Structure 1
Amino acid sequence: MSIIALVGRPNVGKSSLFNRLIGKRLAIVDDIPGVTRDRLYGEAEWDGKRFYLVDTGGIEASSPHPFEKAIEHQVRIALEESDGVVFILDGKDGVTPGDEAIADRLRRAGKPVVVAMNKLDNDKRDENLAEAYALGFPCVLGMSVEHNRNMGDLLDEISALLPEAEPEERSPDEPVRVALVGRPNVGKSSLFNSLLGEERTLVSDIPGTTRDTVDSLLVWKGMNLRIMDTAGLRRKSRVDGALEYYSTVRTFQAVDRSDVTVVLLDAQELLAEQDKRLVGHVLDRGKGLVLGVNKWDLLPPTEDLGDRIRDRIREELPLVRHAPVVFLSAKTGRGVQRVLPYVKTVDENRRRHLKTSVLNKLVRETLEFERMPGDGKGHFLKILYLTQAETVPPTFLFFVNDRRLVERPFIRRLDRLLRELDDFSGTPLRIWFRDRENQETSRSGRG
């Protein structure tokens, strides 16, 4: 997905616009937890296109630079990291020298730009738009964040900047897309180089569809793989702390593009909050998951160390009990050879399809004897029929008498029973319920 940055002078309404779009839920599908308490990121969908919205106001406010340098700093980062820009002006102030300086940078960069003049509460104030048009950008509109004026028009213009979405699922002849992700300094680059250096039979570098990533094609035991390296993000974030915000979004983008994501953990620290958010994003996207515990060689060896770490992961991340865990040292190469076999298995499991006859045997022989959830008034859930509606990820549709009776513990029980039917390790299962009479469907479960 593309990144759209909100750019402008202080107090023109960048953060207000961001909060308006998120708060009003104009087809906004999710909030992404950021690396600070500030709400800097949002994920939006409009006109069938999804994109990340970034409020640069938080970056600007934390900058140590003086006022003029802070603006320059903000614009430079936005131009380097975003796919398009919404340039926000203050309709009460008109176009100021600061706006003109930002506009000059935007023009020279050739970045797609929507100019949005804020605080135009009525048609009379729209006369100030003439100054905005004079900046020379083809797309200019007036709006009022406070009064929710022309928000739909603005989103239409943003949508026009975006490319057509890359297909979420690959065609059969395309390589398996594998994202290597994790916190800074966890060893992504070392693992990337180790995989390419030790396992490859054919490798070529090709430009990624997002900036700052280089995808490498690899053939491993007859399987075509496209390894997406996000390690460069770590190096850039060292240079400029503000880029860490964009790095977070780039990591989410890599997950979105992947079929299987390898989340690399530090054996000495294991599960930080960032790791949990990242794993949650993988599950929400329905991607395959392999957990790699790196720097294994730095821990004092004990007989039950692996079991204890697996137990801790399952305790803190109960929704990923199904995910394979690889203990490795990217530095020494120990355990690295186990990563790609797990990737292959998980990718196959995401595409696994069970026959309806097998599923309904589960209904007859197992679920018929389960204690079903009820409403406390003598009405109990009854499963009438079960089928697999989709793959990637496997999605199961339960036809029931009343989906309102479904409870979360029962969904977890269904997840466990379905996993007993075949190998679904590393892939989330989607479980949907549909009433027999009104055909309405509810969707549950991300793990």
Structure 2
Amino acid sequence: MAIVAIVGRPNVGKSSIFNRIIGKRSAIVDDQPGVTRDRLYGEAEWGGKSFYIVDTGGIMPSEAHPFMDLIAQQVDLAIDESVVIIFVVDGRDGITPMDKQIALKLRKSGKPVILAMNKLDNQKQEEDMLYEAYELGFDTVIATSAEHNKGFDEIQDVLVTLLPEEAEIEESSDEIRVTLVGRPNVGKSSLFNAIAGEKRSMVSDIAGTTRDVVDTLVEVDGTKFRFLDTAGLRRKSKVKSDIEYYSNVRTYQAIDRCQVALVLLDAQEPVTDQDKRLIGQVLERGKGLILVMNKWDLAPKESKIGDKMRDLLIDELPFAKYAPQIFISAISGRSLHKLPEMILSVENNRKRRISTSELNRLVREVLIFERMPGDGKGRSLKIYYCTQADGAPPAFIFFVNDITLSTRPFRRHLENIIRKMGDFSGVPIKIFMRNRE
């Protein structure tokens, strides 16, 4: 998806615009200049188009605030990383010298810019300021007011006309796209380099040395794999620079682009909440999942340690218990030869289909002896028939008498039944309930 960046001085209302566009209060909104020190991003959709929206920290000269000494870097990054820029100025303050400096840099970039004149809460303010705003040299100027919920739909109407059409991924027909993701310094770049056979990513013991998504094409036994190496995903509270911030956005883009994700975990460390959230993102996006326990050469050499670690992973990650696991060393090359076959197997599982007749026969055979969920007043859920939807990951639609009688545990039970019908290891399964017309 395309990236849209919001830039401007501190306290001009960037976070308010960000929150209105993504539909929830994710950015911290405060009158203290510089309060949005970390960069926030979200996924938004308008007019049938999806995009990432980025809320950057306020831009200030270094002498005005100890945290704001990178005006050129911030604007340059917004220009480099985004396809459209929303430039926010404070309509109450008028156009300041700093606004003019930012505008000059944005005009030179040639990128589409929407100028949002914010905090214009009445008609007189709007009339007075819009003429002055056009002096900044941008064709699109929109008056906005968070207090009166004004101008935000108009911004998005214009925005989606400036977004490029989503390009078809050329390699999708005969390649399996694989993303390497994980926390910083778990060995993604070392694994990527071992797979690629050349030192494509910078490798060091300093977390976060891979900032961009790098990819390479590898062919194994006639199957082409495109491996994507990404920067380590950090918790938002640990994202301290513009470069790291945009790297996180690009990592999520790489997950969106892939078919199978290798989530690297460190054999020397316990599973963290960040690991769990990352795995959840992969599954939520419907991608194949393989858990890769790296640095296995450094693990204790006790008896049956592998079995113990597998049991521990299942305990820590019950929502991903169907994901295959592999224990490797990117440095020594241990077990790396097994990865291509595992990836191919998971991708085939993503495409696996069960015929409608077989699906209905097996489901009814199992459910006929079970008590169906109900409302406690004599009404119980009844399944008329089910079918598998087209596409990947596997999705199954159950047509029932009343979807309100369905429960989450029952849907999980249906998923478990389906998993026994075929090999769906490494693949999330979607269960949908529909009322029969």
Question: For this structure pair, what is the TM-score category when the shorter chain's length is used for normalisation?
Answer: 0.7 to 0.9
CA contact 2:386–2:398 (8 Å) conserved in 1: yes
1:141 corresponds to which residue? 142
CA contact 1:350–1:394 (8 Å) conserved in 2: yes
2:279 corresponds to which residue? 279
Structure-to-structure mapping, 1:181-196, within 5 angstroms: 181-196=181-196
Structure-to-structure mapping, 1:45-84, within 5 angstroms: 45-57=45-57, 66=66, 69-84=69-84
| Code of the aligned partner of 1:321 | K
Aligned residues: 413
- Deviating more after overlay: 420-429 vs 375-384: 375-384
Identical columns (%): 57
Task: Give the superposition deviation at 1:58.
Answer: 7.5
| Code of the aligned partner of 2:241 | G
1:385 aligns with 2:385: yes
Provide the rounded CA distance (Å) in 2 between the counterparts of 1:297 and 1:266.
11
Give the unaligned 5+ runs of structure 1: 26-30, 199-210, 438-447
1:416 corresponds to which residue? 416
Provide the rounded CA distance (Å) in 2 between the counterparts of 1:287 and 1:347.
9
Provide the rounded CA distance (Å) in 2 between the counterparts of 1:341 and 1:230.
22
Provide the rounded CA distance (Å) in 1 between the counterparts of 2:340 and 2:270.
21
Structure-to-structure mapping, 1:216-365, within 5 angstroms: 216-231=216-231, 241-365=241-365
2:202 corresponds to which residue? none
CA contact 1:181–1:261 (8 Å) conserved in 2: yes
1:129 corresponds to which residue? 130
Task: Give the superposition deviation at 1:108.
Answer: 2.5
CA contact 2:21–2:156 (8 Å) conserved in 1: no
1:443 corresponds to which residue? none
Provide the rounded CA distance (Å) in 2 between the counterparts of 1:348 and 1:331.
29
Task: Give the superposition deviation at 1:75.
Answer: 2.1
1:160 corresponds to which residue? 161
User: TM-score by structure 2 length?
Assistant: 0.87
CA contact 1:411–1:431 (8 Å) conserved in 2: yes
| Code of the aligned partner of 1:15 | S
Task: Give the superposition deviation at 1:330.
Answer: 0.6
Task: Give the superposition deviation at 1:289.
Answer: 0.8
* Aligned-partner SS, 1:365: helix
* Aligned-partner SS, 2:373: coil
Provide the rounded CA distance (Å) in 1 between the counterparts of 2:153 and 2:12.
19
- The CA deviation string for residues 171-230 of structure 1, in whole angstroms up to 9 with x for no partner, is 5x33111111111111111111111229xxxxxxxxxxxx93332222111112222222
Provide the rounded CA distance (Å) in 2 between the counterparts of 1:121 and 1:98.
23
1:376 corresponds to which residue? 376
* Aligned-partner SS, 1:276: helix
Task: Give the superposition deviation at 1:419.
Answer: 0.5
CA contact 2:44–2:52 (8 Å) conserved in 1: yes
Structure-to-structure mapping, 1:8-19, within 5 angstroms: 8-19=8-19
1:89 corresponds to which residue? 89
CA contact 2:39–2:245 (8 Å) conserved in 1: no
- Deviating more after overlay: 120-129 vs 423-432: 120-129
| Code of the aligned partner of 2:54 | V
CA contact 1:116–1:143 (8 Å) conserved in 2: yes
- The CA deviation string for residues 341-393 of structure 1, in whole angstroms up to 9 with x for no partner, is 11111111111111111101112211111221111112111111111112301
2:366 corresponds to which residue? 366
Q: 1:169 to 1:416 in 2, by over 3 A?
A: farther
CA contact 1:40–1:58 (8 Å) conserved in 2: no
- Deviating more after overlay: 50-59 vs 351-360: 50-59
CA contact 1:390–1:396 (8 Å) conserved in 2: no
| Code of the aligned partner of 1:129 | L
* Aligned-partner SS, 1:4: strand
CA contact 2:12–2:89 (8 Å) conserved in 1: yes
1:28 corresponds to which residue? none
* Aligned-partner SS, 1:146: coil
- The CA deviation string for residues 218-261 of structure 1, in whole angstroms up to 9 with x for no partner, is 21111122222224999xxx997342222221111110011111
Provide the rounded CA distance (Å) in 1 between the counterparts of 2:97 and 2:435.
61
* Aligned-partner SS, 1:421: coil
CA contact 1:212–1:233 (8 Å) conserved in 2: no
* Aligned-partner SS, 1:149: coil
- The CA deviation string for residues 241-288 of structure 1, in whole angstroms up to 9 with x for no partner, is 342222221111110011111111111124222221211111111111
Task: Give the superposition deviation at 1:300.
Answer: 1.0
CA contact 1:13–1:118 (8 Å) conserved in 2: yes
| Code of the aligned partner of 1:310 | R
Provide the rounded CA distance (Å) in 2 between the counterparts of 1:73 and 1:16.
23
Q: 1:426 to 1:44 in 2, by over 3 A?
A: same
Task: Give the superposition deviation at 1:311.
Answer: 2.1
Provide the rounded CA distance (Å) in 2 between the counterparts of 1:80 and 1:195.
29
CA contact 2:182–2:232 (8 Å) conserved in 1: no
1:204 corresponds to which residue? none
CA contact 1:60–1:74 (8 Å) conserved in 2: no
1:399 corresponds to which residue? 399
- The CA deviation string for residues 277-328 of structure 1, in whole angstroms up to 9 with x for no partner, is 2111111111111111111111112222222222222222212111111111
Provide the rounded CA distance (Å) in 2 between the counterparts of 1:156 and 1:385.
42
- The CA deviation string for residues 385-430 of structure 1, in whole angstroms up to 9 with x for no partner, is 1111123011101111111111111111111110000000111101
2:151 corresponds to which residue? 150
User: TM-score by structure 1 length?
Assistant: 0.85
Task: Give the superposition deviation at 1:90.
Answer: 0.7
| Code of the aligned partner of 1:267 | A
Provide the rounded CA distance (Å) in 1 between the counterparts of 2:423 and 2:165.
35
